Amino acid sequence: MTMEGAARIATLRPAVIEVAGLEKIFVTVSNERIHALHDISLAVGEREFVTIVGPSGCGKSTLLKLIAGLLPASAGRIAVGGKIVAAPRTDIGIVFQNPILLPWRTVIENVLLPAEVQGRPMAAARARARELLAMVGLAEFESKYPMELSGGMQQRAAISRALLCDPEILLMDEPFGALDAMTREQMNLDLQRIWREAGKTVVLITHSIPEAVFLGDRVIVMSPRPGRIVRVLDVPIPRPRSIDVMGEPLFGRLTGDIRKLLYGRDRDADTAGLGAAGGIA
Amino acid sequence: MTTIDLPPKEAAAPPGRLTLVMRTRPEIVLAPLLLAVVLLAWEYGVIWLDVPTYILPPPSRIAFAMWQGLDAGLLDRGGYWLHAGVTVAEVLLGFFIGSGVGLVLGTIISQFRILEATLRVYLVAIQSLPKVALAPIVVMWFGFGLTSKVVIICLLTFFPLLITSMAGFKAVDAERLELMRAFGARPWQIFWKVRFPSALPYIFAGLDMAAVLAVVGAVVGEFVGAQRGLGTLILSMNAQMDTAGTFSVFVILAIVGIVLYQGMRIIERRYLFWSGEHMRAIGS
């Protein structure tokens, strides 16, 4: 399975993220070894939108943290922009499942936080922050506090923050997982637009199969214990995609294929729960 | 609830100020009214039931004693100003030194996991001790002057701040720290931009406690041994069976406590406006 996945990794565009033979083993307090990731190899091309889908405990969040340099790898190699990742990289933007806005800062102060921390020129950063907030539709909310914003608006502010220092790469860890279904669809459309306008490389993790297919140029399907890549699927649906593509036969076939990969053939797709595979996310 | 209840339009004069206040914030009228009723009941209850003044004086006597005390010169040993000034000085000095040292030590301890793990058991144990019981020893060590009272207040205010700041720094959301790490933040940036503000609701809860304890500490310290201060005034008035005077000093102490506490609340509103949970906890 892994070989099949690896064979399809090659992209035509130059790779900005390269992962080869990655292993991650956690040692718990009780000295148990948890094999979180096994033999992960993948390459993400410039301006590509790659989604990673899998049940909880398949190590997809761990993979993202490794790429971001927030966790050390146990074995294998990760390179971003041709440079080996060893420590947190400031040239990568990250969006987490929760917006994690600091409640005592206004929206724009939150967006400016990375520039402030990295000692960048603030006047230019402020202008850029205004641009980004306008792009995500929060121009009028820059001096509001996070608690005055809805969940979807907070997450859009978090996306602006991730884009502030103009990173080539945007890593997103289930960014819309906490939103209701309708807001989530709107956020998917917005994200597609932002991605096309900003010209970034995006790796997005999700446990929603339709979201993975809707957003991704390619979908990486992972399975747990140990976390590994089972299949990489191309999504040849033209852009820009509207919500209507979800009704097309190709969309249905792709989501069906992924479901089969995740649930196995012996289980009814309607009743199978992804939660069966517990453990670390 | 329906429009039918409203008076006809031609008869509707603009609602009076009182009506408006009663409709929107009735407590502004009702709370002082309650106080007036209680004071009146006290005043006439004491007279009707013929309670001796040295047991329970009527409010008018307390007010008179208060007026006498306040009418004296600033440095008059029989008046209230000198004693109140001494007590307030003790309270403020003890509060700022004690809680300041507690906050700084709590902050330092919580930045080092080993230090915290080692000390935690002892600190929590000391926190639960009745530290006012040490007042006689403190007075023996530091004498009858200002210092002993400040030391007692420090003892009382130090631990709330130590414990709450440690709890506050421990409770910092791990996601916020990870976010800062992802930005490449240095430890001191993480401290000032995330850890410290995140711990503020806990620290202010400690300061609230300390503000109340500071007044308690001053009075206890003055009871045990002092030449000046509202506590000594209470002792001497009590010895002369001047119950009205004692009550009036109590009122002064209450005002000192309320002013200190309200001051804290104003500062909290300014710095903790974002912390919904905290504001709910202190009932605002």
- Comparing alpha-carbon positions, the chain A residue that sits nearest to B182 is A88
| A158 contacts A132 by C-beta, under 8 angstroms | no
**Residue ranges of B 252-281 with Cβ closer than 8 A to chain A:** 273-276
- Write down the domain spans for chain A: 2-91+167-269, 102-165
Q: B29 is written with which tokens?
A: 């009228």
CA–CA min distance A97, chain B (Å)? 10
| Structure ipTM over 0.90, yes or no | no
Higher pLDDT, A274 or A162: A162
Q: B161 is written with which tokens?
A: 């701040």
Answer whether residue A14 shows pLDDT above 60: yes
Is the Cβ pair B193, A145 closer than 8 Å? no
Each residue of A86-107: pLDDT tens digit? 888 888 889 988 899 999 999 9
- Comparing alpha-carbon positions, the chain A residue that sits nearest to B174 is A100
**CATH: 1.20.210.10, 1.20.1600.10, 1.10.3720.10, 3.40.50.300. Which one for B68-281?**
1.10.3720.10
A116 touches chain B (CB under 8 A): yes
Confidence of residue A8 (pLDDT cuts 50, 70, 90): very low
B76 touches chain A (CB under 8 A): no
Each residue of B35-54: pLDDT tens digit? 999 999 999 999 899 888 88
Answer whether residue A205 shows pLDDT above 60: yes
Average pLDDT, integer, range A189-210: 88
> Exposure of B97 by Cβ count < 10 A (0-12 exposed, 13-18 middle, 19+ buried)?
middle
Is the Cβ pair B185, A117 closer than 8 Å? yes
Is the Cβ pair A102, B185 closer than 8 Å? no
Closest Cβ–Cβ partner in B182, B185, B189 for A94: B182
- Which of B178, B179, B196, B269 to mutate: most A Cβ within 10 Å? B179
**B chain contacts of residue A147, beta-carbon cutoff 8 Å:** 274, 276
Each residue of A241-250: pLDDT tens digit? 888 888 889 9
Tally the residues of chain B: 284
Closest Cβ–Cβ partner in B180, B273, B274 for A117: B180
| A99 contacts A154 by C-beta, under 8 angstroms | yes
Beta bridge partners of A234: A218
Using omega within 30 degrees of 0 as the cis cutoff, is the peptide bond preceding A175 cis?
Answer: no
CATH annotation of A2-91+167-269:
3.40.50.300
Q: What is the DSSP string of A102-115?
A: -TTS-HHHHHHHHH
- Write down the domain spans for chain B: 68-281
The sign of the CA dihedral B216, B218, B220, B223 is: negative
Quote the pLDDT of residue B121: 86
Q: What is the DSSP letter of B193?
A: I
A70 touches chain B (CB under 8 A): yes
Quote the pLDDT of residue A27: 86
Give the separation between CA B44 and CA B59, rounded to whole angstroms.
10
Quote the pLDDT of residue B4: 52
Q: What is the pTM of this model?
A: 0.79
Q: What are phi and psi of B258, to 5 degrees?
A: -65, -40
Closest Cβ–Cβ partner in A70, A98, A103 for B182: A70
Residue ranges of E strands in chain A: 15-27, 33-45, 49-53, 75-80, 83-84, 92-95, 169-173, 201-206, 218-223, 228-234
- Which of B175, B177, B180, B183 to mutate: most A Cβ within 10 Å? B183
CA–CA min distance B92, chain A (Å)? 29
Each residue of A158-196: pLDDT tens digit? 988 988 888 888 999 988 887 788 888 888 898 898 888
Quote the pLDDT of residue B203: 93
Using omega within 30 degrees of 0 as the cis cutoff, is the peptide bond preceding B160 cis?
Answer: no
* pLDDT less than 70: residues of chain B: 1-15, 276-284
Is the Cβ pair B179, A117 closer than 8 Å? no
Is the Cβ pair A113, B176 closer than 8 Å? no
The chain-wide mean pLDDT, for chain A, equals 83
**A chain contacts of residue B276, beta-carbon cutoff 8 Å:** 147
A85 touches chain B (CB under 8 A): no
Average pLDDT, integer, range A147-151: 88
A150 touches chain B (CB under 8 A): no
Quote the pLDDT of residue B12: 52
CA–CA min distance B262, chain A (Å)? 22
Answer whether residue A1 shows pLDDT above 80: no
Quote the pLDDT of residue A274: 45
Average pLDDT, integer, range A12-28: 81
> Exposure of B63 by Cβ count < 10 A (0-12 exposed, 13-18 middle, 19+ buried)?
middle
Q: What are phi and psi of A106, to 5 degrees?
A: -70, 170
Number of other CB atoms surrounding residue A101 within 10 Å: 24
Quote the pLDDT of residue A112: 94
Each residue of A126-146: pLDDT tens digit? 998 998 898 888 889 999 999
A118 touches chain B (CB under 8 A): yes
B113 touches chain A (CB under 8 A): no
Answer whether residue A269 shows pLDDT above 50: no
